[in-house]
Amino acid sequence: ALPNITADAPAANAFTMSAVCATASARVTQSGELIRAGANRFTGDFSNQEYGVSGQVSITVDGRAMTAIMRGGGGSARLSLNR
């Protein structure tokens, strides 16, 4: 299942995000805070309360593509989205 992602920008260069991934047997919620680190780059922290995991996230936007890299809890993940 694709994640449901929401974002809010309480300040010009800061964002809060929440992502929910759910299947018939599980539901996982991640939340995070990001700051603008460049013209097309955002960095920050994320947390997952269900599993007690937290870490760092880096998001890069290039035209119609977005890449998110997450590191924490002893592992890492890379997610690429294209329009």
- Predicted TM-score (pTM) of the model is 0.70
Q: Which residues contact 19 (CB under 8 A, 6 or more apart)?
A: 3, 4, 5, 6, 29, 30, 31
Give the pLDDT confidence of 1-15 residue by residue, as tens digits.
Answer: 555 666 566 667 888
Give the pLDDT confidence of 31-80 residue by residue, as tens digits.
Answer: 888 999 998 899 999 998 888 899 999 999 999 999 989 899 899 989 89
User: In the chain, how long is the greatest CA-to-CA distance?
Assistant: 39
Residue 8 has a CB neighbour count (10 Å cut-off) of: 9
